């Protein structure tokens, strides 16, 4: 059985895997990963005899994350990413069994909530991957938050028990029935639509059409920035220094006009009256003068309806007035009949100075949060 050493260093997650004498590296699969990156899998950095070294965005083990209370949204966001990685592995004709299905060695970035899996490019031992059992690991390790819906895990367990084998499409349909925004967010990430999350400013500029960023703006996973892993110690995963601060940038996309505007204040007001609002919605009398506030706090975002006449909706559900409702990347926001969408990106604080001044000034710093 393989042995793992994990270390968080220089804002990267680094994993060294020492294979057993019975495990044999498949050079064809190894060559595949040298030329292609699959989002959600740690990158192969080097191979030395019976050792493979991986790297990726900083994170903690999923096991450690699940010790903390988890919301219904986050729970199903994790489950949907499990489905997503199985689909990507199958799509690329890889071996599902070679994914390390162990919550101690699956990693999660606490800011973006993205999972990173280890794929061992080994010759096939013809054993089947037990993805359902991995999902059960997550279920039994989860510590749920106190929410209005406290039965969602029980319902999910009952559903999984009804399956005779792992069926990605059926499970994904079930998750969609519980929270469609989870599935929609993952799908948007995969096709490069709004909701794109990255640790690399270069990718941000390419994705949102800002042109080519300066060479110095390459980020966390730039190949030239990575070196071989040499000295591993026994330190726990995810210990960071101050250079690992995550800088949050937020914007709203207005569907009617194809316009994007930045959320540039901790409390940002949207309405139809220009003198009252930080962003005024022109040409729509259904929107109230002061319709809603967007609040940024601790790396999270909330919306508050300001007793508007025609109400505020999040993912199609009306929210109560004068109460904070948390919103997430990719959420559909509707003010009366005006459709908006929240868009977030994160970069590392250590990279902020590397962004061109003109580009940086066009964005607005909302909050910094330790990753």
Q: What's the pTM?
A: 0.54
> Is pLDDT of 6 > 70?
yes
Residue 150, CB-side half-sphere exposure with 13 Å CA sphere: 5
H or E segment and range at residue 346: strand 338-348
Contacts of 222 (CB under 8 A, 6+ apart): 200, 202
H or E segment and range at residue 345: strand 338-348
Confidence grade of residue 213 (pLDDT, cut at 50, 70, 90): very low
67 versus 210: which is more confidently predicted?
A: 67
Contacts of 130 (CB under 8 A, 6+ apart): 101, 166
pLDDT score, position 338 = 95
> Is pLDDT of 5 > 50?
yes
Range of weakest confidence among 100-104, 254-258, 277-281, 345-349: 345-349
pLDDT score, position 80 = 96
> Is pLDDT of 171 > 90?
yes
Answer yes or no: are the C-beta atoms of 269 and 277 closer than 8 Å.
yes
- Angle subtended at Cα 36 by Cα 35 and Cα 42, rounded to the nearest 5 degrees: 115
- Angle subtended at Cα 81 by Cα 164 and Cα 133, rounded to the nearest 5 degrees: 35
The rounded distance, in Å, linking the Cα atoms of 289 and 297 is 24
Answer yes or no: are the C-beta atoms of 184 and 175 closer than 8 Å.
no
Q: What is the three-class DSSP state of 154?
A: helix
pLDDT score, position 212 = 42
- Angle subtended at Cα 113 by Cα 71 and Cα 37, rounded to the nearest 5 degrees: 150
Per-residue pLDDT reduced to its tens digit, 105-146: 999 998 889 999 999 999 876 678 899 999 999 998 998 888
Answer yes or no: are the C-beta atoms of 75 and 178 closer than 8 Å.
no
């Amino acid at each position: 059985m393989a042995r793992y050493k994990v270390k968080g260093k220089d804002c990267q997650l680094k994993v060294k895997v020492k294979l057993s004498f019975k495990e044999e590296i498949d050079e064809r699969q190894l060559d595949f990963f040298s030329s292609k990156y699959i989002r959600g899998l740690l990158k192969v950095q080097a191979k030395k005899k019976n050792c493979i070294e991986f790297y990726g965005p900083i994170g903690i083990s999923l096991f450690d994350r699940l010790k903390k209370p988890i919301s219904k949204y986050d729970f199903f966001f994790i489950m949907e990413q499990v489905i997503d990685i199985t689909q990507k592995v199958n799509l690329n004709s890889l071996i599902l069994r070679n994914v390390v299905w162990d919550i101690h060695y699956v990693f999660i970035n606490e800011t973006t909530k993205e999972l990173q899996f280890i794929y061992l490019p080994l010759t096939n031992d013809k054993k089947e991957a037990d993805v359902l059992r991995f999902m059960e690991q997550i279920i039994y390790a989860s510590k749920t938050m106190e929410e209005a819906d406290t039965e969602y895990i029980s319902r999910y367990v009952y559903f999984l028990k009804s399956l005779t084998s792992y069926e990605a499409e059926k499970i994904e349909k079930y998750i969609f029935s519980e929270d469609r925004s989870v599935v929609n967010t993952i799908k948007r990430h995969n096709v490069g639509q709004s909701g794109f999350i990255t640790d690399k400013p270069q990718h941000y500029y390419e994705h949102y059409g800002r042109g080519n960023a300066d060479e110095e703006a390459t980020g966390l996973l730039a190949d030239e920035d990575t070196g071989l892993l040499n000295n591993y110690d026994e330190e726990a995963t995810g210990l960071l220094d101050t250079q690992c601060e995550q800088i949050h940038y937020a914007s709203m996309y207005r569907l009617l006009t194809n316009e994007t505007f930045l959320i540039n204040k901790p409390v940002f007001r949207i309405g139809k009256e220009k003198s009252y609002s930080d962003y005024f919605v022109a040409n729509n009398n259904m929107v109230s003068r002061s319709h809603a506030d967007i609040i940024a706090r601790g790396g999270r975002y909330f919306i508050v309806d300001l007793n508007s006449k025609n109400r505020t909706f999040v993912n199609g559900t009306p929210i109560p007035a004068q109460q904070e409702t948390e919103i997430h990347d990719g959420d559909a926001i509707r003010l009366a009949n005006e459709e908006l969408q929240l868009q977030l990106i994160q970069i590392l604080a250590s990279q902020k100075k590397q962004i061109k001044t003109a580009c940086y000034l066009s964005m607005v710093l909302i909050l910094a949060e330790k990753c």
